[in-house]
Amino acid sequence: MQKIALVAHRKDRSKILKRLTRLGTVETVKSDLPENTAYHGVGKHREEIERKLNRLTFAFQFIKDAATEVALENKLERKHAAKEGKKIDKKEQASFKSDLKRENVLIDYDELSEIVRDEYELFAVIEHLEELNSKLVDIKSERSRKLNLSAQLKDYVALDLKFSELKSTAHTLITAGLISPEKTEELRAALGEDVYFEFYPNEKSTLVFVAAYLDDAARVGEALTAADFAKCPYDYAKKPTEMLAELAEDIATLEEARKSVYREVGKAAEYNYRFKLLYEFYNLELAKSDVAADTAETGKAFYLQGWVPAPQAELTVNAVKEVAPTAIVTVSDPEEGDAVPTYLKNSKFVAPFGDGITKLYGYPKYGDLDPNPFVALFYFVFFGFMLGDAGYGILMTIACFLYLAIKKPVKNSATMIWMFGICGISTIFWGAIFGGWFGVEAEILQQSAVGSFLLKIRQIDPLDGQQTLVMFGLALALGVVHMGVGYFLSFLNKRRTSLLDGIFNDLSWVTIFVGGLLVAAGMVFSVKVLQTVGLVIAAIGVVMLVVGGCLGKKNVFKMVGGIFGNLYGSINIFSDILSYARLFGLGLTTGVIGLAINKIGYILIDMLGPVGYIAAVIVWVGGHIFNFGINTLGVYVHNSRLQYVEFFGKFHTEGGRIFAPLGSKTRFVYLKDSLELAPAKKVSADSAK
């Protein structure tokens, strides 16, 4: 990375920021304040941009919520019709789709800017959506009110009087209301025979109608109060049944009005993609506004600072000079103490592992080694070893690359698919080494020419006693190599700041591991020279480890403590090595389960005859899908754990801030940038243009 700084006329600020956004090569930072300058600050323009973004966000969410609600209602309608023996064709139901997913589209800034031509039309549509939303809120509120009223009036449906008739006369007390069912007998006894009353049981209450002479009004009132009587609060000039019928009609009308609103919303769904483009445009405008706010300025000039990848520095300087010839641009190397962002440039093979694995753990700090190439290599090797079935590898590779060929995902939108497709190749390799072909037994493979050829490729039979140990030893050896590389990378990270610590505490373990592997190889292949050389190298490593324990210690006791600490720490190292037994365990599991699935199918054929073939096919297909899925998930998790704990734990310190250039933060589409171009020349430090 290099530091970039520019001074230009204020009138050129908009053009420069637009060009930097289109390039996507500069991450800006808040400028220092030279003498007699002030920050540009946030203006009304930003408030206007935020307002437009909020309206666009409303449009997305409103259309999405409406689409979800319509889809749910359609599903319930079909389910209800099915219970009644009817069938509703999905095509006859009004529906539309809308989502907030990122589009698989790669466009440049100039193409995106063209959407502004449609701004008036699009915001007119949004205004219509806002009106529809307001209308929908009113409809839902009124519908909810009428539904609640209808539910309450149902308690009075047995009353064959208009609500307005429930009032006392000059000589008679007339009232109606609700009581708890438990109070019915108590009230009946309290009212006595001199009072006319009727009880109408409801689901959760009892309707009471009472008619009495006014002379008994006080006694009746006391009885009703004691029964927690809730007087009817309605005075409609209609009977309950009439009111309920009228409410049902009103609710049906409101329901149709609601559906009509949704149909109108559905028409706006066709604008969703253009809404997304306009959102991205204003999102970038907001980013430019924030950058402008953090630039220092005088009455006529402004000052901007940032970071640019060294290979793109010259391209960036030339681009700025193209739109602002009078601008002064300087490029310099980072200084000690600078908060430099991390920029990783990886190959097509490595990048998926960086995005899929390293990103979840944390990016390295600027100046540290990029772990992605090493993660890619070991993850690739371990994945195939643990899945260990060439048949599954072929399916995985074909499925992933077929998806990529059909969908043609842009940028890093299919990171995991790329990664699994690449890992499928490793699975084919290791599956062939282990003789794993959908768990088919060797005896069956031998019955065909192709199967015989596949058996010749096999180098290790995981289920053959002695060779099982070979597979286990190979798993541990791969683990030793993995950890050794981790320690070596730790040494490389320390070589500038603490070289001796790197040599005696990191290279010592690399030396011990190399010696140990040579000893193991000498024992396996019966080569005594290798064993002798390995022991010598391992002994040198132990001596280095002892010396490492003495580093920085000023007295004998601390030296002894340091030596003891290093040697005692070796227990943890050997424990870490044993954790690589999971390579062996998972690799064995996939094959054993596949073999068991196949045997179950053969048993069904023997037991059921012709019908058994159908049952066997079901078992084979379902079983292998399950075996493939569950073991792929297990391999992904355990492989990631080996990278995060055993590998990264040796050298990788997260905490890096990933390079985020102006124009890189998009939500719905992918923006082309100049970082995808062929590397340009690095501009010499402190050069001025």
pLDDT tens per residue across span 278-297: 999 999 999 999 888 888 88
Q: How many domains does the chain have?
A: 4
Instruction: Give residue 340's Cα distance to chain centre.
Output: 27
Is 155 inside any structural domain?
no
pLDDT tier, 411 (very low <50, low <70, confident <90, very high otherwise): confident
> How confident is the model over 530-554, as a mean pLDDT?
82
The Cα 168–Cα 520 span in angstroms is 107
Q: Do 486 and 566 lie in a common domain? A: yes
**Contact between residue 664 and residue 29 where contact means Cβ atoms under 8 Å apart:** no
pLDDT score for 475: 95
Q: Coil, strand or helix: which one is 298? A: coil
Please indicate, yes or no, if residue 54 is contained in any of the structural domains: yes
Is the per-residue pLDDT at 678 higher than 50? Answer: no
The answer to whether the CB of 49 falls within 8 A of the CB of 289 is yes
Q: 171 and 75 in one domain?
A: no
Is residue 682 scored above 50 in pLDDT? no
Same domain membership, residue 543 and residue 394:
yes
Domain enclosing residue 638, as ranges = 351-651
Residue 432 lies in a domain: yes
pLDDT for residue 680: 42
* pLDDT of the residue at 556: 61
The predicted pLDDT at position 20 comes to 92
Residue 460 shares a structural domain with residue 408 = yes
What does DSSP assign to residue 299? S
Distance between CA 321 and CA 315 in Å, rounded? 10
Distance between start and end Cα atoms, the chain:
18
The reply to whether 23 and 58 lie within a common domain is no
Task: Name the pLDDT band for 688 (thresholds 50, 70, 90).
Answer: very low
114 with 263, same domain? yes
Whether residue 162 is contained in a domain is answered as no
Q: Please say if the pLDDT value at position 432 is more than 90.
A: yes
What does the alpha-carbon distance between residue 645 and residue 203 come to, in Å, rounded to a whole number?
A: 62
Burial class (CB in 10 A: 0-12, 13-18, 19+), 38: exposed
pLDDT tens track for 47-58: 999 999 999 999
Is residue 515 in some structural domain? Answer: yes
Give Cβ neighbours of residue 78 (< 8 Å, ≥ 6 apart): 88, 90, 93
Q: How far apart are CA 315 and CA 571, in angstroms?
A: 53
Contacts of 235 (CB under 8 A, 6+ apart): 163, 164, 166
**The predicted structure's pLDDT at residue 501:** 81
Rounded to two decimals, what is the model's pTM?
A: 0.83
The torsion region of residue 85 among left (phi > 0), alpha (psi -120 to 50) and beta comes to: left
Q: Report whether 612 contacts 618 (CB < 8 A).
A: no
CATH number of the domain that residue 15 is part of: 3.30.70.120
**Side chain identity at residue 525, one-letter code:** F
pLDDT of residue 615: 92
3-state DSSP assignment of residue 166: coil
Mean pLDDT across 23-29: 91
Counting Cα atoms < 13 Å in the Cβ hemisphere of 46 gives 12
pLDDT at 689 over 50: no
Q: What's residue 685's pLDDT?
A: 40
- Identify whether residues 278 and 424 lie together within a single domain: no
β-bridge pairing 328-332 and 687-688: antiparallel
Instruction: Give me the phi and psi of 84, to 5 degrees please.
Output: -90, 5
Q: What is the pLDDT of residues 262-277, one digit of tens each?
A: 889 888 888 988 999 9
Residue 404 has phi, psi (to 5 degrees) of -65, -35
Q: Is residue 398 domain-shared with residue 480, that is, in the same domain?
A: yes
3-state secondary structure 175-202: EEEEECHHHHHHHHHHHCCCCEEEEEEC
Q: Is residue 344 part of a domain?
A: no
Question: Does residue 249 share a domain with residue 334?
Answer: no
pLDDT at 546: 79
Shared domain check, 552 and 681: no
pLDDT(684) > 50: no
DSSP state of 437: S
In a domain, 493, yes or no: yes
- 9, 123: one domain: no
For the residues 592-616, what does the mean pLDDT come to? 90
Residue 204 sits in a domain of what CATH number? Answer: 3.30.70.2750
Who wins on pLDDT, 678 or 145? Answer: 145
Whether residue 436 contacts residue 457, with contact meaning beta carbons closer than 8 Å, is answered with: no
Residue type, 134: S
6 backbone dihedrals φ, ψ, rounded to 5°:
-145, 150
Is residue 237 in some structural domain?
A: no
Verify that 318 and 278 share a domain, yes or no.
no
What are the phi and psi torsion angles at 312 (to 5°)?
-105, 5
